[in-house]
Amino acid sequence: MMTTKASVIGKLKLVLVNVKEFVSSDITFSSKSYFRGPFCVHDIRQGLVLRYFEYMLEKMSTYGEASNSQCPPALLLILARLCLDLETKTITYIASLTEEMFAPDESAVPPTGLQPSPAQLTTLAHDTTMKLLNHYVSVKGLAVSQMIHTSVKTRDWLGAVEPRNVRAAMKRVVEEITELDTQIGSLFEEGGIKGANSEGSRRALSHASSKVPSKYKYTPSDTETSLLNKLFNDQVDIFGEISFTKLSILTGIIKIGLKAFLESVRLRTFGKFGLQQIQVDVCYLKEYLWRFVDEERLLNILLEEVLSSTVDRCVDPVLMEPSVIMLLCEQT
């Protein structure tokens, strides 16, 4: 990534050095106002440098279109990182360098300024970064969603046997997220965590949901009721805006995947052991996915809703003991 950034800066600087010859002191017409003003301002600063950045950003923006399904996800990530570097450092640096090498003639600049300005280009770079990352999150989120949806759709949940381990699909989801963590982490900073992530909160689901007052009736615990209330009150935005950090990007992908998990269980009917298998799977996801999100509370809310919806769709809602669930997850 640093090589790409250095290459862009290096080539631009080389071009500026080459065209500097046109305004050297031994060129007689270089000091003439009718030449120097338009050449430095319109031809070099605007026509060469800033228009080049504008073209780059507009071209990269096309890869972030929802209709562009051919662009590899890894390329989206690399382009997003490049746009972020353009926004934070490169555009301002090259624009300042150009000002120094080609001192502008203010008489050549109209009162309203010239378009595009460095400030406008940094804004465009920011928007392009956001567009590329949103598309990346959508693409990878869809891949995780399909993995989860297929695993739920193809299983006989009514005739399921007593769970002995975590389903392979859930292990694959965690493996996929772990691979993405490495990939994204090589390009973007870690990012901050909103609220403390704790082992106690990760295990809240299995303990809070372990008691059912009767065989066919499910009464949510106070913890579950609180989480569900937060789900509706906070209006969790599955496709919300992300920040330019690793945890924020991964959180966006995980939210899309868990939303697919939720919608998938709502379309199925579960027996007693089918429900318990979902319990085990949900506990496993909680135990491993918390480290990849910037707000564990949202992870808890979505997984809690998955389990609650499964209970609603179960003909015999008898939950498994938390100690057994934890043992199965640890064995995995």
Write down the pLDDT at residue 107: 59
> Which residues are registered as beta bridge partners of 270?
314
Peptide bond before residue 116 is cis, with ω within 30 degrees of 0: yes
> What is the residue type of 112?
T
Per-residue pLDDT tens, the chain, 332 aa: give them: 667 888 888 999 999 999 888 877 777 776 777 777 788 888 888 889 999 999 999 999 999 998 887 889 999 999 999 999 999 999 999 999 998 888 766 655 555 567 789 999 999 999 999 999 999 999 999 999 999 999 999 999 999 999 999 999 999 999 999 999 999 999 999 987 766 555 544 554 545 445 443 333 444 445 444 444 544 444 456 666 789 999 999 999 999 999 999 999 999 999 999 999 999 999 999 999 999 999 889 999 999 999 999 999 999 999 999 999 999 988 87
> What is the residue type of 259?
K
Which of 38, 41, 58, 34 lies closest to 117, judged by CA? 41
Write down the pLDDT at residue 275: 96
CA-CA distance, 11 to 19, in Å (whole number)? 13
Write down the pLDDT at residue 68: 80
Burial class from Cβ neighbours inside 10 Å (0-12, 13-18, 19+) for residue 180 reads: buried
CA-CA distance, 22 to 114, in Å (whole number)? 22
CA-CA distance, 213 to 266, in Å (whole number)? 23
* Three-class secondary structure of residue 123 per DSSP: helix
- Give me the DSSP letters along 108-156: GS-TT--SS-HHHHHHHHHHHHHHHHHHHHHHHHHHHHHHHHHHHHTS-
